Each structure stands twice: as structure tokens, then as C-alpha cells.
Chains A and B, each alone.
Chain A
Amino acid sequence: MTIDLGTTARDIARQVQAGESVQDVADALLERIDRYDNHIQAFATVRPDAVRAEATWLDARRDQGARLPLHGVPVGVKDIIDVAGWPTMAGFEPFQNNIADHDAAIVEALRAQGAFVIGKTHTTQFAVGDPAPTRNPWDLEKSPAGSSAGSGAAVAAGMAPVTLGSQTAGSMLRPAAFNGVVGFKPTFGWFPLDGVLPLCWSLDHLGIYAEDVSDVFLVYDAITGNIGKPVAYPSATPRIGLLTEFLEMSSPDVASHLRSVAANLSSEGFEVVETSLPKPFELIFAVHQVIFAAEMSALHGSNLDRHRAYYGPRIATAVDAGRLLPAGGLVHAQRLRRALTETFDRFLSTWDALLFPTASTEPCDISETGDRRFQILATLLGLPAISLPTGLSENRLPIATQLIGQRNEDRRLLAMAERITEVISLIGKPDLSRLD
């Protein structure tokens, strides 16, 4: 079987169900990883023998009559998520031999639907700010963002049709934007966090990267047990709020692109109306930053004291500073978060979705992971959000559109995003011929 840029999970599952060998799928993808990953470095661990053994088992199940929704679909897993028998290193050297006993709940759910693990993908250390070794497939000197750098880049380079990432600030959506792939983060709590190395207990989300929205939808349904269930499609004229504050904070080409997306949607029957956040962005950002710093420091403080030499400078600095926060400041932030959540739930009840850029700029220099501000709204408030790669900058680098939906209306948001991609084309794929 040939796996190339643009091969979807649906393509693979369909072919496997029709008789294609999962072993061939695994071999094709391993060959592709062998060909490109020395340049891109999306994967922290690949275990070809373990991959082939699982593929053989899936072939046997298919031969026995099993036809699973994700049968034979290879999945890359961010290296903070446990996969039984594989190391969970989180970019932290002392964890090199931290072999997981069990699959994380989300991996277990995917395997139950016929998917198999193709590799563990690089993360920034502990999913914070020190850049991962991964490079952006669109330009190796540009950042793939973080923290889910490897998961975003692996899909962009066609080394996995589906990967898992996580987001505690902007770590799902920004890599989706920088790598030019679709990225989705559900409502808080919808994806199980059991078996995932935490960063901030009240902010951590898992999410999905894929080639297109339909693949994300399929994987979302597989994880949440919704396959085959009807979808509440948005109204005939979905009402979308264009958040102008974010356009003002964007680079000119990003702002101009989003205005053009909004205009295209209007001409295709969507009701797009300019609107503003019901509370100042500065407050939303501050609440997130204080909760983030306090929880991260509580989690990492003692480990940092034991293993300071192994910690990256950015996370070490952030943990040390976070430990200085007064408890009253955290409690005030937590109370404000609840107030903001209630305000935004009321605000969102008047919209089908909110529209704004996923990231403020095109992919930045590789020494950074990018501006996290635009992804924090959905994280702090636990709202479902999707990033669609809808444009290219003057430098031929990806620009993305973000949609935030109503709480617990993840499938409705995915359905709307599917409809949007029927009228607005997603960008193509990076030219990898220069790496051959």
C-alpha cells in the first residue's frame, strides 16, 4: 500500500476493511518515517518490531471477521501519553527508561476501535516552553510550535494520518496552525486524562491532529463512543461571531486572511458578524497565567529541586517564579475563572461559533514556540476549538482559522467545520521533495 501526503485515516480504514494488509500499512509508514524523520524529528520513539507485531494481530482480527471503524489506522502519540511497553519521556532525560505498564485511557479507546500506535512524538519538555528538536516540514528553519511539536509535524509530513496532542495553554492549536494541519481540542473533560503526564490539572486537554476535519470527527467519535450516532447540524444559516480584538493583535497578513475567510463564509450563506469579547482579553489571559503558573509549580516544584540539571531553562524559570505566587492570588484567579466561564457560556449561547485566527503570526523562528495568547481562551474556559489551515502567508507558510463552539457541543462544531471546508479550501501540503 502507498501512503503519501494526504492519505487519510478513512482511506486506510476503508482499504483495510476491503482486504488490504495492516502489515503493509505499517511498513509503508515506517518507510516514510525512515525517509523523512531524520530531517523533521517528529518522533521521539519508533519501535518497528512492536508496530509490526500489532499490525499482524490486527490482520488476524480482520481475517477472523472484525471490521473496526479505525481498523489499521496508525496513530502517533505525544510523548506525555502512556503506551504500554513504550517509554514516556516527556523530553526529560531521567525518564528515558520510564516504560509505561498500561495504555492511557485514550490510547486504549483508540486501540479498541482498531487503531495502532506508529510512534511516540516529540514534545517540548513536560509540554512547556523549551523547544522540542522537531522542525517545521514547511521550512526546517521555522518552528513547528509547541508543545505538541512532533504530533503536528508528523501529520504535516504524512508520517502519520492521525496523532494525539495536548493543550494546557496553546499546545494543540498553535502546532496545528504552524504545521498547516487540522487540530481539534474538545470540551474539557471529554477526553480521558488517565495515563497522561499532567501539567496543570484544571487546564490539561488532549486533542487530535489529522489531515482533514472528517478524520478528526471519525477519531473523536471513536474515542467518545459516538460512531454512528446522529449529529445535530448547525442551522441553515450558522451565526458566527468574528472576534475583532484578535484581528487587531494579529500580524497584517493573518488579519487580512481572516477577514477574507469571514467574507467568503458570508458569501456562502453563513451569517458572520463582527463582535467583541464580553470581558477584556487581558483579564482572561491573566487568569490563565496565574492558574497555569500555580498548578505547574505545585506539580514540578519538588522534581525540579531533585533534578534541576535536567530541566530546560524556560520551565525551570517558570516553576521557580510560580512558586512565589501567594495562595490568595490563585484563589482569586479561580473565582474569576468561574465568573468568566458563566459569562462566556451566556455569550456563546447567541452564536454557533466564534471565529478568529488560531495564531497571531505565521510560524516563527525555530528558537521559539510562538505566541500562546490566541489559544488560551478555549483552554481556560474549557470550550471546544478547532484550527483549520486555510491560508498561506507571503512567505508560503501556513495561516490558520480558529473556531470555538459552545460547551459540550463538540460534534456540532465539528459538523460546522466540515461544512466550512466544503466552501473554503484547506491549504495543500509542504513540498518534501527537497528532503529526498
Chain B
Amino acid sequence: MLRRPDWLVSHTCRFFGKDQPVKLTRDSTTLAIERALRSSSELAYGAERTEEIAEQIRHLAEMLHELAQSRLDLTGIPPDTTGIKDRTARS
């Protein structure tokens, strides 16, 4: 049986690019995340566009790395889509 705490954020998500899939975990480095995003970008847009958006990719890698440090119990808090619901309700 899986121990709950290890299961919680150990597979936050995976990236799929030209290289092997990369898991986003607490132990992922910013560099590894950036490399995974770049790989996806090269597949989607090619090498030239990847260079053009390199700064944004680096920024998102830093942000994802920050998020991955925070554990959340998977049995607890659901995603916050309150905003979307409110927008519809008030339209």
C-alpha cells in the first residue's frame, strides 16, 4: 500500500517533449523543469521560436519549481474554480 505523504505530490505532473517524460516532483530542479519545457517547446514550435520565448520558459520553470515545493493532501482541497463559477452566475 502506498504511504499517503509520499503519494501526495510525487507525481504532480509529467512533461512530454522530444526527450524522455520528466516528472515534476519536490526534488525536480528548476533547470530540469526548464529543460523539459524547452523540449516541449522545440517539439511544438521549433528551435528558433524556443529561443524567442526562452525567458518566459525560464520564468514558468521557476514558478513550477516553487509550486512543487508545496505539498497538498490529495484527499483534501479541490482545485479553486470559484472564479469561473462566479463569473457564470453573475453573467
Q: Residues of A at under 8 Å CB distance from B? A: 105, 188-189, 192-194, 201-204, 282-283, 285-287, 289-290, 293, 317-318, 320-329, 331-339, 341, 382
Contacts and interface: CB of A to CB of B under 8 A. Distances in A.
A192 B87 CA distance: 7
A293 B13 contact: no
Contacts of A332: 9, 12-13, 67-68, 70, 72
A203 B80 CA distance: 11
A355 B53 CA distance: 36
Interface in B42-81: 44-45, 49, 52-53, 55-57, 59-60, 62-64, 66-70, 72, 77-81
A283 B62 CA distance: 11
Given A332-B13, A336-B70, A338-B77, A321 B90 contact: no
Interface of B: 9, 11-15, 24, 37, 40-41, 44-45, 49, 52-53, 55-57, 59-60, 62-64, 66-70, 72, 77-84, 86-87, 89-91
Q: Which of B52, B79, B82 has the most CB of A within 10 A?
A: B79
Contacts of B59: 289, 321
B72 A336 contact: yes
A201 B78 contact: no
Contacts of A322: 56, 60
A325 B14 CA distance: 10
- Closest 9 A/B residue pairs (Cβ): A328-B13, A202-B83, A321-B56, A334-B79, A286-B66, A338-B80, A189-B86, A326-B13, A286-B63
Contacts of A339: 72, 77
13 contacts: A105-B91, A194-B91, A202-B80, A320-B45, A321-B59, A321-B60, A324-B57, A326-B24, A329-B64, A332-B9, A332-B13, A338-B77, A339-B77
Chain A interface main SS type:
helix
B24 A317 contact: no
A327 B79 CA distance: 12
A202 B37 CA distance: 24
A122 B59 CA distance: 28
Nearest to B16: A326
A328 B11 CA distance: 9
Nearest to A201: B84
A328 B89 CA distance: 27
Nearest to A190: B90
Contact of A193 (B15, B63, B90): B90
A188 B85 CA distance: 11
B24 A328 contact: yes
Contact of B67 (A201, A290, A323, A324): A290
Contacts of A329: 12-13, 24, 64, 67
A324 B37 contact: yes
B36 to A, nearest CB: 9
B63 A321 contact: no
B45 A193 contact: no
A327 B70 CA distance: 17
Nearest to A382: B83
A274 to B, nearest CB: 25
A324 B77 contact: no
Contact of A290 (B14, B41, B57, B64): B64
A203 B82 CA distance: 10
Q: Which of A282, A321, A341 has the most CB of B within 10 A?
A: A321
A22 B79 CA distance: 49
Contacts of A286: 62-64, 66-67
Contacts of B69: 283
A341 B83 contact: no
Contacts of A337: 79-80
B63 A290 contact: yes
B80 A193 contact: no
